[in-house]
Amino acid sequence: MEIIETPSQMKALSKTQKESGKSIGFVPTMGALHVGHLSLVKRAKQVCDVVVVSVFVNPTQFGKNEDLDKYPRDIVKDSNLCELAGADYLFHPSANDIYGNGEESLLVSFPELSNKLCGKFRPGHFDGVTTIMAKLLSIVSPDSCFMGKKDGQQLSIVQRLARDLFISCEIIGCPTVREKSGLALSSRNSYMSEKQRADAGQIFASLSNFTIELLKAIDLDEKFKIQEALDLEAKHLQSGCGFEVQYFDFVDRNTFEPVREIKAGEFMICTAVLNGTTRLIDNFTININEAGKLQVDAGVDEMDNPFTILSREEVQS
């Protein structure tokens, strides 16, 4: 595996690969790689001839009081993991190469989408994400880009970005990889104490509980009181677990508008909580077809087996 440090080298390399008929798969990351990131690399390798992973801690997607300085960084470890997972190139540019000398003025933004859900609590975050993704997609020029469903709002926004900028790259959403407890793998999990990490399994339990109630209601052809079910889970996470719940919502996957009746479409049951000072997000995607059939994606375990959803009682017993 080769490490590429500048955008111009990366562009030249992509051009050469394309000229020789190779398809390029791209996995953008901020490093501190874990099995979740590596699952994206493996999927990219199955679909594309050449896989490029980027490691770039993007300063513009961090707010003033967020964890940019303490964000875990270990490029040696990351490059070893990338190589083991089958990546061909690691793109590791400097902030200066990407943004210039702080006189950056380009801002790619979806004002209506970027202020909802996480955007409400992280003003400017998604503008940073869309701006860096526009730049990275332009530099790497991949055929396919592999991103995690774990960051569901980010995935939908980047899919919209590629569509609206007419970028010829398919943005492929990949399942969330979870620990045994159901906790979604995240670079930020390293901030938590052992006790906080054990408590964090309750996020998965609450998403599961909501989904099970929804499935039951549909099965029995009963009216499902979405708001009541959301309130119950938010209360469990807030009062029962001691998290600060920023949102726990059932939304349209593309517009992020709250959904309060069961109908056909693509949805997310999604949440963001503060566990101590660690901010955790998670979601399941739920698709409902015209016949009322549900398809739930709750992610996979570290061996890539689909995760079974369990009610809160089942998780605790």
Nearer to ligand AMP, 56 or 248 (CB): 56
Contact mark string toward ligand AMP, 135..154, x via CB under 6 A: ------------xx-xx---
Residues from 202 through 261 that contact ligand AMP (CB under 6 A): none
Active site residue 125: no
Least distance from C-beta 53 to ligand AMP, angstroms?
9
Nearer to ligand AMP, 186 or 271 (CB): 186
Contact mark string toward ligand AMP, 187..206, x via CB under 6 A: x-------------------
Least distance from C-beta 144 to ligand AMP, angstroms?
13
Part of the chain binding ligand AMP (CB under 6 A), chosen from 180-188, 207-215, 220-228, 271-279: 180-188
Nearer to ligand AMP, 266 or 313 (CB): 266
Catalytic residue among 34, 37, 92, 125: 37
Residues in contact with ligand AMP, counted by CB under 6 A, come to a total of 17
Q: What DSSP line would sit under the chain, residue for residue?
A: -EEE-SHHHHHHHHHHHHHTT--EEEEEE-S---HHHHHHHHHHHHH-SEEEEEE---GGGS-TTSSTTTS---HHHHHHHHHHHT-SEEE---HHHHH-SS--------TTTTTSTHHHHSTTHHHHHHHHHHHHHHHH--SEEEEETTSHHHHHHHHHHHHHTT-S-EEEEEPPBB-TTSPBP-GGGGGS-HHHHHHTHHHHHHHHHHHHHHHHHHHTTPPP-HHHHHHHHHHIIIIIT--EEEEEEEEETTT--B--S--SEEEEEEEEEEETTEEEEEEEEEEE-TT--EEEE--B-TTSPBPPP--HHHHH-
Is residue 90 at the binding interface for ligand AMP, with CB under 6 A as the rule? no
Is residue 176 at the binding interface for ligand AMP, with CB under 6 A as the rule? yes
Contact mark string toward ligand AMP, 28..67, x via CB under 6 A: -xx-----xx-xx---------------------------
Instruction: List residues near ligand AMP by CB under 6 A.
Output: 29-30, 36-37, 39-40, 147-148, 150-151, 174, 176-177, 184-187
Active site residue ranges: 37
